[in-house]
Every structure is written in structure tokens, then in C-alpha cells.
């Protein structure tokens, strides 16, 4: 990464940071000195992806002041204006059409801030706002089939002829729900995110997925005839399907892990085939006077026509989109960093006279629009964070987390093979601290036995606590000494193990925690012909019996911070940090009861 460019980009963000939040640019240009939901979001995500603590106040102010400007019925502002005393004087909800994407950019920023800074002071208001945003998004589906239907001019490229089911808008909603499901502990959001993902993958990418069909019969025939990258859609309505390249929609989809390896490859190949070694315009192909959409783009403008071929939204190379695409290229496995080199070459040509321009014309890459825009500088910094692949970047974008999980699963498969070979048994107890990989290894051991033709059952210690999750948490707050082996009903757990392995028992009644209702419920589990039981949990070695094999992970909660990001259910506040520290002392003492130890380099040692 070019350190001079990084320094200049941080200077742009620092100048744009006001007490009320990030303005689009520090320059006194038109209405750019306002707090814009999208611009401030990208600046904020750049700050958070680098852990730039001195700019955290501007991130928080952006979040709270935009929330204050929400209008009647929950309408989210496109921007808010402030006077010289930094008091809000007004807000805009869009011109001819409001912005569908604004609330999702805001929500992703708010959640990312909460996670990065561990600031729980805004959790309640953020949760309430997201509930309202999702309620409106659900209404925008119109048919409860998981994709929002948006009017023309409703997303960032407001003068580009795209409408209906729009890829970018639906991807942003998925991003919000995916993060909210973890940080707000919501199974409802997790389930909805999964359904949106399936609908996006099928309709926009042509990937197999279980989802309700939104294409008309004629459309289905048309899209089924498309091959390779041509099948990737930017938007569709009942009467049309637009398969233009959407650089921002594509790159965020890749960064969130919504694209399969095959779809990602198709995207990259199409970019290279149609644009060659050049940087990707915001949208492609360029719409000229002979294109069927020329009439639509030529008549849609506010102050003056900007979408000449190769300019603005019509083939312009935007600073906003380039950082996200470069970040995607830096994150994807097997893709070189040539895109980043080309990106920095473009910046170099205009850094002296027109730095971090709004957009660059195609194909000559001449800067246009306003300079020193915080979303152009912020987007570049996001690309820089992707190159570093640090924890802060990992927390914001899901694909990196998925890569970590895939790596963990591969390691677990190899360890499971070794465990089964070295220590054959009927009962295995896998113990370790939060995020160490015990659940992944336990599943791999079950899978290994099943590959050998033996029926194995996985049991989670979490289902055998005396109290349901929230009640147990409250008990911990009330009595910190409650934390430990006494939280688990060992008599019940061991009784279930014995019943499962009893050839005379065909089914067993087992507990199941309902996280939504915070209750302990019961279900019947088939136990016929089970030969092996694998139990995973923090304390399971604390009640290991003769003949059982105990496996202990050396990794501490400090070592596993990045892994925990992949499946955390809540922000780690001061209390949870104390819990992790106490658990560390309890769990580390259980090492003496282990037969096998998984070392920090993931090798296996026999004790």
C-alpha cells in the first residue's frame, strides 16, 4: 500500500470529521458539507476497519445524529444539515424518490461501531431502530418472498436506470441482518438473512438455492439461456432483467461471502473479458444514444445532465466503488493484487490537483466531480485494511470469517482422524475456552466415525445447564461465584450418555434450550445403534469418567479472539470479559484430566 496515499486519505477523513459526524467533504461545495448517511457510513467503516480510535467520536456522532433525523413513520434521512453552531437545521429524505439503501448503510455502521468499540450505551436505540428498519424492509417486499422491490433512483446511483429487485439494496439488507443476528442475539434476523441469501443467490447469481420464484415464465426462459458471467443480474422487474456489471453490488457480495467460488470466478472473468486490465466502472456496459436505456438515463437528472457516456454513473470509475472492489480482490483466495496496483496508479495521476475525486471518466481516467470526498478516501482505506487482513477488517466483512471457519474445519478433520486412530473409545469429551475450536473438532470426530460406518452422536454441554441462557446470565451477574462446573447438570448429562449407549434404548428424552423464549424444553432423540458419543463444552472434562477420552485445547480466549468473531452472539462488554477471565482459570485446571492435548500449533499430544 502507498503510505503517502494512506496519509492523505486519513487527512481527508480528519478534515471531514465534525462534532456532529462526517460531512461528505470539508470543502464548501454545494450540499456536500452535510452529514450524508452513505458517505458517513463508508468513512466510518474505514475508521473501524483500521481501529483509528481518534476518529471514533465522529463515527458515533454520525450514527446518533442521523438517527435523530429519522422522520415520521421511520423514514430514514438521506442527509442532515447543520449550522455554524453545529445544530441540526434540517434533513432530506431524497429528491423525487427516497433512498432505499440509506438505513442499511446506517445500521451496518452502527453495529460495526458497537462491535469494534464495545460501546453498549447505544445498543438499545440501535436495536429499536433496526427493528423499525426491518419492519419497513419487510413491507418493501410486497409479497413476503424475501427480496425488496425498489423504485428507480432509490439507491446510490440515483440517476442510473435501475429499479425493481436490485442486487445492491438486497445485499445491504442481508449485511445488516447478518450482523444484527450476532450482535443482538436474534434468531429471527439470522433466519431472515438466510432466506434473503438464498433468494439473492438464485435470482441474481443463478446459483441453486431453495427459494420462492420471482421470475415470470418468460423471464425464466431468458435468464436460463444466459451463460457464465452474463447470468449475474444487477436488477429485474416482471418485464425486464438487467445484467449490467454493478461494481459495488458485486464487490460487497463477494466480501460478505454471498458468492460461491464459481460465481466469484465468473465475476472476475467477466470483468477481465469486458474491461480488460482497466479499473471497473461503476456500471457496465456504457449506455450510449444507441442503447435501449438511453432515453431513461438521458431524462433522469436533477441539476444538469452528467451521465454522458463514460461519465458519472454511466461508465464513470467511482472512488466509492474502487476501494470495495480492490478489497474484494485482496480478500479472495487465488486472486493477485493487480487491481490494487491499477487503482493506485489512477490515484497517482490526480493526487496533486484533484485527489480522491468523486469519479474518473472512462477510459482516460480523468478526475471529475468534487475532490477530497470522504467516501473516496474511505473506500481506499477499506482496500488498505483488506490488504492487511487484520481483526478489525475481519469483524466487518463476513467472507474473511468464512475463510477462517473453512480453515478450522480442514484442521479439525485432520485432528479427528488422528484422535480416532490414537485413542479409540465410546465416549469423547472435548473441552477448551471460548472460540478454541472444540465444537468444530467434536463435529469432525462424529463425521470420522460415521465415515467408518459407526453411528455417533454429538452432545453439547450448553443444553445441560441448570438454567436457560438469560436466566443463567442473570444468575452470574447476581453471584459471580456461580460461574463454573456447578452451572451444569452433570447427573442429567451422564444419564443421557449412558442411555444413548445402552443397546436396549431406542430413544432418549433430552433437554434443549430455547434461546428466544429463554426456556428449557425437551425433545426425543433417536439413540438406536449409537456406538460413540462426543460431548463438547467448556467444562466437560470436569466430570470425565473411567474409559472416556478427554481432549483439551491449549488455546486461551486471548488466542482465539478472531475465531470468536465468526460466531459471537453479543458484544463483549466488561462483564463478559470478566467471565472469560474467570473461565480461563477454571478451564486451564482441567488440562490435568485430558488424555489428548491440542497444542497451539494444532498438533496433538498424548498425555
Residues 6 or more apart from 580 whose CB is under 8 A from it?
Answer: 433, 434, 557, 572
CB atoms within 10 A of CB 520: 18
Helix H or strand E segment including 81: strand 79-82
Compute the average pLDDT of residues 569-578: 66
Q: What is the pLDDT of residues 275-288, one digit of tens each?
A: 987 899 999 999 99
Q: Which of 572, 586, 591, 540 is nearest to 117 (CA)?
A: 572
**pTM, 2 dp:** 0.77
Query: Is the model's pLDDT at 569 over the cut of 50?
Result: no
Q: 48-52, 296-300, 409-413 — which is least confidently predicted?
A: 409-413
Confidence of residue 20 (pLDDT cuts 50, 70, 90): very high
Q: Are strands 519-526 and 530-536 parallel, antiparallel or unpaired?
A: unpaired
- Whether residue 564 is predicted with pLDDT greater than 60 in this model: the reply is no
- pLDDT for residue 519 is more than 80: yes
Per-residue model confidence (pLDDT) at position 401: 60
The pLDDT value recorded for residue 332 is: 76
Q: Give the pLDDT band (50/70/90) at residue 396.
A: confident
What does the pLDDT average to over 111-133? 93
Grid coordinates given for 446: 462424529
How far apart, in whole angstroms, are the C-alpha atoms of residue 19 and residue 371?
Answer: 22
Average of per-residue pLDDT values in the chain: 92
Query: Mean pLDDT across the stretch 71-91?
Result: 94
The span from the CA of 458 to the CA of 537, in Å, is 11
Q: Which secondary-structure segment (H or E) carries 577?
A: helix 574-588
The answer to whether residue 303 scores a pLDDT higher than 90 is no
Alpha helix ranges (H) inside 17-118? 37-50, 56-68, 102-117
Q: Is the pLDDT of residue 566 over 50?
A: no
What is the pLDDT at residue 5?
96
Q: What's the rounded Cα separation, in Å, for the pair 22 and 13?
A: 8
- pLDDT confidence of residue 334: 55
Averaged pLDDT for residues 264-271: 93
Write the pLDDT tens digit of every residue in 216-245: 999 999 999 999 999 999 999 999 999 999
In percent, the amount of the chain with pLDDT more than 90 equals 80
Report how far apart the first and last C-alpha atoms of the chain are (Å, whole number): 47
**pLDDT digits over 326-360, tens only?**
999 887 755 557 888 999 999 999 999 999 999 99
Grid cell of 61 as nine digits: 456522532
Q: Which domains are assigned to the chain?
A: 3-396 (1.50.10.10), 401-606 (3.40.50.300)
| Backbone torsions φ then ψ of 164, nearest 5 degrees | 90, -135
User: Could you read off the pLDDT of 438-452 as tens digits, one per residue?
Assistant: 999 999 999 999 999
Q: How far, in Å, CA of 186 to CA of 130, rounded? A: 12
Q: How far apart are the C-alpha atoms of 423 and 170, rounded to whole Å? A: 49
Closest by CA position to 255, among listed 106, 410, 403? 403
Read off the pLDDT of each residue in 313-326 and give the average, rounded to a whole number. Answer: 96
Tell which residue, 78, 247, 43, 76, has the closest CA to residue 160: 247
Q: Which tens digits make up the pLDDT trace of 377-390?
A: 999 999 999 888 77
Asked if residues 607 and 595 have their Cβ atoms less than 8 Å apart, the reply is: yes
- pLDDT bucket at 180, cuts 50 / 70 / 90: very high
Q: What is the pLDDT of residue 573?
A: 62
Stretch 149-166: mean pLDDT, rounded? 95
Amino acid at each position: 500500500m502507498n503510505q503517502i496515499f494512506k496519509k492523505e486519505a486519513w487527512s481527508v477523513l480528519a478534515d471531514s470529521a465534525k462534532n456532529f459526524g462526517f460531512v461528505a467533504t470539508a470543502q464548501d461545495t454545494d450540499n456536500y458539507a452535510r452529514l450524508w448517511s452513505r458517505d458517513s457510513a463508508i468513512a466510518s467503516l474505514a475508521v473501524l476497519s483500521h481501529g483509528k480510535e481518534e476518529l471514533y467520536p465522529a463515527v458515533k456522532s454520525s450514527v446518533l445524529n442521523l438517527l435523530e433525523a429519522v422522520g415520521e413513520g421511520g423514514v430514514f434521512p438521506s442527509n442532515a444539515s447543520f449550522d455554524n453552531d453545529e445544530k441540526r437545521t434540517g434533513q432530506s429524505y431524497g429528491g423525487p424518490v427516497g433512498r432505499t439503501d440509506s438505513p442499511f448503510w446506517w445500521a451496518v455502521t452502527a453495529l460495526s461501531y458497537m462491535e469494534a468499540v464495545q460501546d453498549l450505551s447505544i445498543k438499545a436505540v440501535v436495536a429499536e431502530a433496526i427493528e423499525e428498519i426491518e419492519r419497513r424492509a419487510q413491507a418493501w417486499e410486497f409479497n413476503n418472498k424475501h427480496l425488496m422491490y425498489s423504485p428507480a433512483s432509490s439507491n446510490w446511483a440515483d440517476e442510473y436506470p435501475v429499479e425493481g429487485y436490485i442486487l445492491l439494496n438486497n445485499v445491504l439488507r442481508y449485511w445488516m441482518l447478518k450482523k444484527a443476528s450476532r450482535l443482538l442475539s436474534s434468531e429471527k434476523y439470522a433466519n431472515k438473512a438466510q432466506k434473503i441469501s438464498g433468494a439473492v443467490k438464485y435470482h441474481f447469481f443463478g446459483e441453486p438455492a431453495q427459494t420462492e420464484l420471482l421470475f415470470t415464465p418468460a423471464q425464466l426462459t431468458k435468464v436460463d439461456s444466459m451463460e457464465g458471467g452474463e447470468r449475474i443480474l444487477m436488477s429485474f422487474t416482471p418485464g425486464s432483467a438487467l445484467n449490467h456489471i454493478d461494481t459495488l453490488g458485486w464487490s460487497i457480495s463477494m466480501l460478505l461471502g454471498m458468492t460461491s467460488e464459481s460465481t466469484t470466478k465468473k465475476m472476475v472473468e467477466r470483468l477481465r473479458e469486458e474491461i480488460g486490465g482497466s479499473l471497473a466502472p461503476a456500471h457496465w456496459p456504457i449506455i450510449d444514444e444507441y442503447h435501449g436505456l438511453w432515453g431513461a438515463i438521458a431524462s433522469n437528472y436533477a441539476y444538469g445532465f452528467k451521465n454522458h457516456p463514460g461519465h458519472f454513473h454511466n461508465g464513470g470509475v467511482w472512488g466509492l466503488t474502487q476501494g470495495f472492489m480492490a478489497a474484494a480482490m485482496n480478500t479472495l483466495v487465488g486472486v493477485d493484487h493487480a487491481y490494487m496496483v491499477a487503482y493506485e496508479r489512477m490515484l497517482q495521476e490526480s493526487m496533486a490537483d484533484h485527489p480522491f475525486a468523486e469519479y474518473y471518466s472512462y477510459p482516460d481516467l480523468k478526475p471529475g466531480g468534487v475532490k477530497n470526498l470522504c467516501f473516496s478516501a474511505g473506500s481506499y482505506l477499506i482496500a488498505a485494511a483488506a490488504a492487511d487482513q487484520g481483526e478489525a477488517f475481519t469483524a466487518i466483512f463476513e467472507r474473511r470469517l468464512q475463510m477462517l471457519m473453512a480453515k478450522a474445519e480442514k484442521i479439525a478433520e485432520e485432528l479427528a482422524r488422528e484422535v480416532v486412530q490414537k485413542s479409540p473409545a465410546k465416549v469423547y469429551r472435548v473441552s477448551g475456552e471460548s472460540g478454541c475450536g472444540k465444537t468444530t473438532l467434536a463435529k469432525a470426530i462424529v463425521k470420522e466415525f460415521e465415515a467408518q460406518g459407526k453411528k455417533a452422536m454429538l452432545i453439547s454441554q450448553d443444553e445441560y445447564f441448570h438454567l436457560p441462557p438469560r436466566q443463567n446470565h442473570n444468575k452470574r451477574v447476581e453471584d459471580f461465584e456461580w460461574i463454573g462446573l456447578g452451572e451444569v447438570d452433570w447427573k442429567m448429562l451422564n444419564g443421557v450418555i449412558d442411555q444413548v449407549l445402552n443397546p436396549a434404548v431406542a430413544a432418549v428424552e433430552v433437554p434443549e434450550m430455547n434461546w428466544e423464549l429463554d426456556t428449557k424444553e425437551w425433545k426425543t432423540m433417536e439413540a438406536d445403534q449409537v456406538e460413540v458419543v462426543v460431548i463438547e463444552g467448556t467444562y466437560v472434562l470436569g466430570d470425565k469418567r473411567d474409559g472416556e477420552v478427554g481432549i483439551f485445547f491449549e488455546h486461551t480466549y486471548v488466542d482465539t479472539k478472531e475465531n470468536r468473531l465468526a460466531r459471537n452472539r453479543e458484544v463483549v462488554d466488561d462483564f463478559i470479559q470478566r467471565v472469560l477471565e474467570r473461565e480461563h482459570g477454571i478451564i486451564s485446571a482441567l488440562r490435568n484430566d485430558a488424555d489428548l492435548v491440542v497444542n497451539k500449533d494444532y498438533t496433538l499430544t498424548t498425555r
